């Protein structure tokens, strides 16, 4: 058992979305690294994109903390594991400070899975990023409301963002002083701090490569010059969360009976950037050899026994995906031989026959298309049938986030759930060894499904050896 530990931490929150949390968090992480700190970056909620920018700034992988997906009991252990070797952790919040999953139960003001909820689970102080463009003296009233709303949440400082002038900054500082909250930094309106976005938010750092590095560098420089880093570090050291044993992927999956170490290939590269770091760690702990491959230009790795194709933006790379005939052939052959495949969202679209008129893999009968309507939200789902991941009746909480639709023909659904109106919805497909759906599920919340997948991959390896 690894010893319990507690890493100093701050949580970066805001009154509402669009206040500049990601920009400030990314800049703060990079500024702390430049000052000699070893920073562990985290993101509250199911977001895949922001952790990519955090990771660029930190020089280590960004991780997610989402009580809805993994259970509140796992948040502190996952934090402890993700902050191993760091001397400070910076946690970016989601939406507004108290905004969480809408469950119909308003008994707890924190909001299920909200930034405030995670801050209390970690015992970490909150720094509030306020978009000052529309504020003057009334900022004091806004802060007063947030300070008094729930005493379990400790708002310990403010960073004012998009300040218009020196006079504007002076007024804002006076407003903060009026309610007793220190201003830790003031950032002006600066186009150099803008990060390009598109239909689902920021463009992933993995897609922008050199441009992302340049953007992060500019953000870091400006935050380093404008924020009191020593005060931020002092606040982080005042965190009073529990010292817990770090999350262990080996403990989660337990003893998995495999004859060998099957190769599990995970799709990576610009088209498939969505994934949780814990997934590969759980696969490895369950006995797999994890190998990455880029569907835009590579084939399946040698001796592949199982394939994971996560989320991303296949619609932005549909021509290149379609043009990689060799990989499409590899995947069709793998499925025809009974090989296991775990596909989520973008992976579902890729396995269909076509996406916006371009031929895709075609192991699922049906077509996908991109559209204007955003589908977004948590889902409490039940597995419809046995698969390489789940047994029929297994229950999970997952998350949908897409602007596409897929019309499948004659498929057994992977999941079913009830929507807000009480209507039963079906999602995805189970076909041979394929489990594909729009639903993103955090593997740390369902470690038994990872172990089940590795067993299926090992079984496929042995069957291939007997041919």
Residues identified as active-site: 345
Secondary structure E strands in 225-340: 263-267, 289-293, 304-309
Query: Could you tell me the CA-to-CA distances from 449 to 189, 237, 399, 443 in Å, in that order?
Result: 47, 37, 17, 8
Instruction: State whether residue 129 is helix, strand or coil.
Output: strand
* 95 secondary structure, DSSP code: S
Query: Could you tell me the CA-to-CA distances from 366 to 319, 354, 427 in Å, in that order?
Result: 18, 7, 13
Q: Report d(CA 126, CA 116) in Å as an integer.
A: 8
Q: Report d(CA 432, CA 310) in Å as an integer.
A: 19
For the chain, the straight-line distance linking the first and the last C-alpha, in angstroms and rounded, comes to: 42
> Is the Cβ–Cβ distance between 271 and 313 less than 8 Å?
yes
Query: Could you tell me the CA-to-CA distances from 217 to 57, 66, 88, 444 in Å, in that order?
Result: 8, 28, 20, 32
Q: Report d(CA 344, CA 443) in Å as an integer.
A: 12
Query: Please, what's the b/e burial string for 382-413 (b: 16 or more CB within 10 A of its CB; e: otherwise)?
Result: ebbeebbbbeeebebbbbbbbebebebeebeb
Q: Which helix (H) or strand (E) holds 163?
A: strand 155-163
Alpha helices in 47-106 (DSSP H): 50-58, 67-70, 72-82
Neighbour count for residue 191 (Cβ, 10 Å) = 6
Best CA proximity match to 266, nearest among 301, 243, 293, 248: 293
Q: Which helix (H) or strand (E) holds 326?
A: helix 325-336
Neighbour count for residue 124 (Cβ, 10 Å) = 27
> Exposed, middle or buried: residue 125 (CB in 10 Å: 0-12, 13-18, 19+)?
buried
Beta bridge partners of 152: none
């Amino acid at each position: 058992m690894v010893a319990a530990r507690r890493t100093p931490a701050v949580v970066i929150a805001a009154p509402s979305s669009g206040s500049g949390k990601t920009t400030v968090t990314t800049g703060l992480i990079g500024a702390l690294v430049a000052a000699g700190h070893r920073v562990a970056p985290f993101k509250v909620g199911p977001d895949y994109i922001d952790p990519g920018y955090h990771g660029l700034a930190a020089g280590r992988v960004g991780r997610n903390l989402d009580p809805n997906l993994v259970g509140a009991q796992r948040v502190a252990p996952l934090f402890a594991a993700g902050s191993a070797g760091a001397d400070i952790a910076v946690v970016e919040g989601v939406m507004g400070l108290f905004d969480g999953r809408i469950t119909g139960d308003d008994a707890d003001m924190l909001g299920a899975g909200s930034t405030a909820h995670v801050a209390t689970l970690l015992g970490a102080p909150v720094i509030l990023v306020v978009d000052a463009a529309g504020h003057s003296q009334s900022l004091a009233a806004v802060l007063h409301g947030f300070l008094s709303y729930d005493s379990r949440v400790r708002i310990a400082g403010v960073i004012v963002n998009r300040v218009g002038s020196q006079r504007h900054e002076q007024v804002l500082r006076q407003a903060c002083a009026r309610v007793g909250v220190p201003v830790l930094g003031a950032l002006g309106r600066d186009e150099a701090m803008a990060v390009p976005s598109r239909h689902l938010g920021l463009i992933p750092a993995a897609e922008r490569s050199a441009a992302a590095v340049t953007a992060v560098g500019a953000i870091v420089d400006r935050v380093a010059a404008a924020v009191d880093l020593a005060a931020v570090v002092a606040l982080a050291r005042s965190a009073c969360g529990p010292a817990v044993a770090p999350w262990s992927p080996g403990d989660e999956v337990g003893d998995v009976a495999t004859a060998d170490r099957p190769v599990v290939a995970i799709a990576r590269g610009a088209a498939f950037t969505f994934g949780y770091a814990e997934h590969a760690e759980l696969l490895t702990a369950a006995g797999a050899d994890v190998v990455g491959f880029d569907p835009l230009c590579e084939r399946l790795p040698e001796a592949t026994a199982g394939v994971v194709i996560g989320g991303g933006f296949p619609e932005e790379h549909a021509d290149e995906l379609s043009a990689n005939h060799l990989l499409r052939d590899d995947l069709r052959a793998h499925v025809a031989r009974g090989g296991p495949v775990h596909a989520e969202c973008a992976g579902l679209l890729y396995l269909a026959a076509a996406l916006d008129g371009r031929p895709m893999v075609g192991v699922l009968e049906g077509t996908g298309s991109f559209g204007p309507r955003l589908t977004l939200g948590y889902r409490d789902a039940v597995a419809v049938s046995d698969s390489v991941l789940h047994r029929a009746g297994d229950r999970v909480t997952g998350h949908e986030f897409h602007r596409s639709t897929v019309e499948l023909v004659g498929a057994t659904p992977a999941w079913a759930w009830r929507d807000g109106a009480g209507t039963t919805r079906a999602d995805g497909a189970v076909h041979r060894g394929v489990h594909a759906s729009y639903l993103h599920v955090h593997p740390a919340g369902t470690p038994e499904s990872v172990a089940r997948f590795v067993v299926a991959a090992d079984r496929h390896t042995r069957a291939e050896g007997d041919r």
